[in-house]
Amino acid sequence: MTDFTPTEMMTIAAARQLTSRDVCFVGIGAPSAACNVARLTHAPDITLIYESGTIGTAPDVLPLSIGDGELCETAVSTVAVPEMFRYWLQGGRISIGFLGAAQLDKFGNINTTVIGDYHHPKVRLPGGGGAPEIATSCGEIYITLKQATRSMVEKIDFYTSFGHGDGGDHRARLGITTKGPTLLITDLAIWRPDPVSKEFTVVSLHQGVTRDMVQETCGWTVRFADDLEQTPPPTELELTTLRDLQARTAAAHGGSKKGN
């Protein structure tokens, strides 16, 4: 079996969750890699949408930002950003939003704004962009994140994108009718929200990962499913597709992009 890195496992595990029927609003970074691996393998008819207004894009390399020309050049159509958000996103036409996070809590609330006090932050992050609207308007939300106690925290420093709030029916009480975060994929495990409490629960451990490893890299007390599974390792096709995509990206952007 070919060796693979935890990041490669995370990306491929995320890609497997997508189908050709999905209309997916794609975040830059790990979400973009996962969505394009899905498109290049088992989900060729998936519709990928980026925040800049590109619909049905099929990039040959991973974009550096939503403004990357590769997205527009390969799109079926490109619309104005206000139309993208008002008609496509807020109109309920996008089934899945795929997001990353700087900080995440156990109810899927995301912080990409600041670390520390808002007025005197330790770190000022890039901000939400369209993620707050994606989090409430897409049918459901998938999240990818590398595990670390600094990123998986008991309480996030700032609510950029609303997940399940305080848990339970918090979304419904606010009048939000979409499902919110239904899947979290990290470099160690696959998590899904408890049907009632909405707290993320580990349902599958990646190969070689233990419960202790998951807990040691998480800032809250982790819940594990009773019927805990093991994530199947990447196939040769999945790994080759991801690595070739990353190699093309590195060559096109004149830098290096490794999977670990």
Residues with a catalytic annotation lie at 51
Helices (DSSP H) in the chain: which residue ranges? 6-15, 30-40, 69-73, 81-83, 131-137, 170-173, 211-216, 236-253
Q: Which tokens is 25 given?
A: 């609003």
Distance of CA 212 to the CA centre of its chain: 24
**Residue 186 burial by CB count (10 A; 0-12/13-18/19+): exposed, middle or buried?**
buried
The answer to whether residues 102 and 153 touch, using CB atoms and an 8 Å cutoff, is no
Nearest to 136 by CA among 184, 171, 108: 171
DSSP assignment of 239-252 equals HHHHHHHHHHHHHH
- For residue 239, the number of C-alpha atoms closer than 13 Å in the C-beta half-sphere is 13
Q: How far apart are the first and last CA of the chain?
A: 18
Could you tell me which residues are beta bridge partners of residue 121? 116
CA distance 112 to 129: 9
Nearest of 161, 31, 33 to residue 96 by alpha carbon: 31
